[in-house]
Amino acid sequence: MAHVILTGCTGTAGSAVLARCIASSTISRISVLSRRPVKQAAGVDKVNVIIHKDFNVYPKDVLEQLKGAVGCVWALGISAGQVSADEYRTISLDYPIAAAKAFATLNSLFNFVYISGEGATRNPGRFTALFARTKGAAESSLLSLNPKNPALRIYNVRPAFIDDTLDAKLKEGKKPFSYALMDKMAPLLRAAWPSGVSPTGKLADVLVNCVEQQGAKEDVEKAYRGKGVSFDGEGEGVGVLIENVGVRRLAGL
């Protein structure tokens, strides 16, 4: 039975992952780090919501509550257009790096699953967008932690369009006007660009499988090898990059 850590549970991907973890018979404990209460977790015995204000710092009392966790799905994020460039880098790059460093001490093997995004690049050019540049830098920085943190395994996952319009439960409590637009766009995207769509339930299945994966390096590579997946990292700290096409393949789409 596994203990997992989640962030970003009030967002689209994070709320889907939380729902999947709650329903899982193999996950006995869920620690949610959030700046505010999480309505979806209310009354669920195996969920512990830890109100955490600064994602750059992890005090001893917080780490004590997280001890023994096998991994984390890092879904905390924001659109690059909603904040300044500096704030976007703090949220998308600094926060996950600080967390991965702190969480590497929680278990003898710890899976850090970072939700990046389709289009992210580790080799930016002069005109590369802030989103692509920052997410790629986060992926590279997470992988660079491997040599000094042998317990840490990094999964960089790049979904494209995350589609939760068919998941009525995840719409609860979200702004109606945003769904009016998405309900119109989603069917068009599913028809015109099916390979670029990641339904929330299927994406959550892949992310939760990553966070629970406890096999040896060879077993991990065997389980994920195929179209849309590549490997990097050193020693047992294998790094797994899953493109959107890989997400869909692993989800059976």
Of the pLDDT bands very low, low, confident and very high (cuts 50, 70, 90), residue 174 is: low
pTM above 0.85, yes or no: yes
Instruction: Estimate the share of the chain in helix, then strand, then coil, as percent rounded to the nearest 5.
Output: 45, 20, 35
Confidence band for 217, pLDDT divided at 50, 70 and 90: confident
Ramachandran quadrant class, 235 (left: phi over 0; alpha: psi -120 to 50; beta: rest): left
Rounded to whole angstroms, how far apart are CA atoms 130 and 121? 10
Which distant-in-sequence residues (6+ apart) come within 8 Å of 206 by Cβ?
Answer: 157, 242, 247, 250, 251
Q: Which of 3-12, 118-127, 143-152 has the lowest mean pLDDT?
A: 143-152
Domains of the chain by range and CATH? 2-250 (3.40.50.720)
| Residue whose tokens read 């802030």 | 130
Return the half-sphere exposure (C-beta side, CA atoms, 13 A cut-off) of residue 195: 5
The helix/strand/coil state of 252 is coil
* H or E segment and range at residue 49: strand 47-51
Cβ neighbour number for residue 247 with a 10 Å cutoff: 26
What pLDDT is recorded for position 187? 62
User: Residues for the chain: how many in total?
Assistant: 253
Rounded to the nearest 5 degrees, what angle is found at the Cα of 252, between the Cα atoms of 246 and 253? 80
In this predicted structure, the answer to whether residue 177 has a pLDDT above a threshold of 50 is no
Say if residue 5's pLDDT is above 80. yes
103 versus 237: which is more confidently predicted?
103
Question: Is the pLDDT assigned to residue 17 strictly greater than 70?
Answer: yes
Dihedral, 88, 230, 206, 135 alpha carbons, nearest 10: 0
pLDDT tens column, 65-121 = 999 999 999 999 998 889 999 999 999 999 999 999 999 999 999 999 999 999 999
State the average pLDDT over residues 115-141.
94
